[in-house]
Amino acid sequence: MNITRENIDALNAVLKVDIAKEDYSDSVEKILTDYRKTANIPGFRKGHVPMGMVKKQYGKAVLVDEVNKLLQESLNKYLTEEKLDVLGQPLPRPQDDINWDADNFSFEFELGLAPEFEVELESKTPIVQYHIVADDKMIDEQIERIQKQYGKLVSQDTVEKDSEITGVYKNEAQDIENTVTLTLDKFKDSETEKKFIGSKRGDSITLQTKGLYNDDHELMHALKLDHDAIHGLDIEVTFTISEINKRELADLDQDLFDKLFGEGTVKSATELKEKIKEDAEKQFVQQAEQKLLNDVTEFLVDNTKFDLPAQFLTKWMQTAGEKEMDATQAREEYEKSEKSLRYQLIEGKLITNNNIQVSMDDIRNHAREMIKEQMAQFGQLNPSDKELDDIAARILSNQEEARRISEQLVSQKLIALYKEKANLKVKEVTYENFVKEVYGDK
């Protein structure tokens, strides 16, 4: 067997694979001999079917199968030995006139080659690295939410601004009748709030659904309708009050601290604030790092210039997926995925150049830490090593889960690399301002 490569240009090549009879004849003969031993053909005892008859019946199919198998093995071996960095898979050039009665065969494959390029992490303009802090306003709001959650309900005669109101939304024509408990801050405007203030049990308030809540999901819950029914809904509903309560805030005492964090972990209101700030900022780290990863990714894709074998990749995409595409569909799919493909190549270069590796021990340890955090949320603060190892083993037996954790760890190592080598400018912001800057003031 002989494989030769013709480089068309820096990104495209053609492989020619010549297969001679001696490359496949032994394996074909062995398979046919085995067939002869087991063939069940009327008029002949098993194992005594003439070889000529076996070859006539099975020979062509066995030959085609063995040649194709040999082709695949030889291609994989060649690409590995030659250390060719290819994109997609080799594409066979169409051959409608293969003479399977011949002794020797020739096949040609198109290759898309990965481009040569360098990655420069240093941008001229610094990329913002957000450091999100929990400010006093956020901490105080969280403490108030906790006090409300653990506080007790006190019955009221009339609705006040901070009341919790239970009642029934109703519209007979639309077959709406749903009991909910609401607070006035969920409504979109102050006019709705004014309709409730001073109301008593048994009072009915007429409301328009359009613009009633800040969020359509609140309206879905309030009226117990699905998303399609809520979209653009503009009808009149009544809300009949059945119960009015005020939630008395829980005291910031040791009993509350122990319920929240375990006995003796927090011993004062000051320590409570510090704990809430610490926990909140841990949660913010992930969002800030995801933003950094996105921004550096965008910078690298926009500023790392190289060509791709676009024509080859478009042709490859026609048959690469579960469903075949025509040329137009493949071109559209390539245009949609080109940016992602460019980043995959850039990321691969960074991983290779900086020797970024994720070992099975890394994956296992990360799984253990995830499990410990989840168990802690349910009050299991000191799981044994055996418990952690057993649960981790079950999780990692799922290859998809193991792959997901591996990708997380690679992302973490890339973020560490960016923090070390990219041109970053640290910007400290509150979470509220982070949301405004990143997602817009919605």
**One domain for residues 184 and 290:** no
Say if residue 162 is in the same domain as residue 70: no
Coil, strand, or helix at residue 207? strand
Predicted pLDDT of residue 35: 82
Instruction: Give yes or no: residues 298 and 381 share one domain.
Output: yes
The residue among 227, 248, 269 that closes a domain is: 248
Give the chain's length: 442
First to last CA, the chain: 66
The domain in which residue 237 lies consists of 152-248
The letter for the amino acid at 365 is N
In this structure, the answer to whether residues 302 and 385 fall within a common structural domain is yes
Of the residues 90, 113, 136, the one at which a domain ends: 113
Q: How far apart are CA 138 and CA 189, in angstroms?
A: 23
Extract the residue ranges of the chain whose pLDDT is less than 70: 379, 441-442
Among the three residues 66, 86, 113, which one is the final residue of a domain in this structure? 113
DSSP code per residue over 14-75: EEEEEE-HHHHHHHHHHHHHHHHHH---TTS-TT-S-HHHHHHHHHHHHHHHHHHHHHHHHH
d(CA 272, CA 137): 14
Per-residue burial over 338-363, b = 16 or more CB atoms within 10 Å of its CB, e = otherwise: eeeebeebbbebbbeebebebeeebb
- Give per-residue pLDDT as tens, 224-265: 998 888 888 899 999 999 999 998 999 999 999 998 888 898
- Phi and psi, residue 103, nearest 5°: -90, -35
Q: Is residue 92 in a domain?
A: yes
Q: Pick from 119, 126, 122, 123: which is nearest to 343 by CA?
A: 119
What is the structure's pLDDT at 441? 56
pLDDT, position 130: 96
Q: What is the pLDDT of residue 150?
A: 92
Distance CA 53, CA 71 (A): 27
**What is the reported pLDDT for 38?**
78
* Same-domain status, 103 and 10: yes
- Are residue 344 and residue 226 in the same domain, yes or no? no
Domain assignment present for residue 237? The answer is yes
One domain for residues 175 and 75: no
pLDDT number for residue 58: 85
Helix (H, G, I), strand (E, B) or coil at 244: strand
CATH number of 163's domain: 3.10.50
Give a yes or no: residue 133 inside a domain. no
The whole-number pLDDT of residue 354 equals 95
Name the 3-class secondary structure at 292.
helix
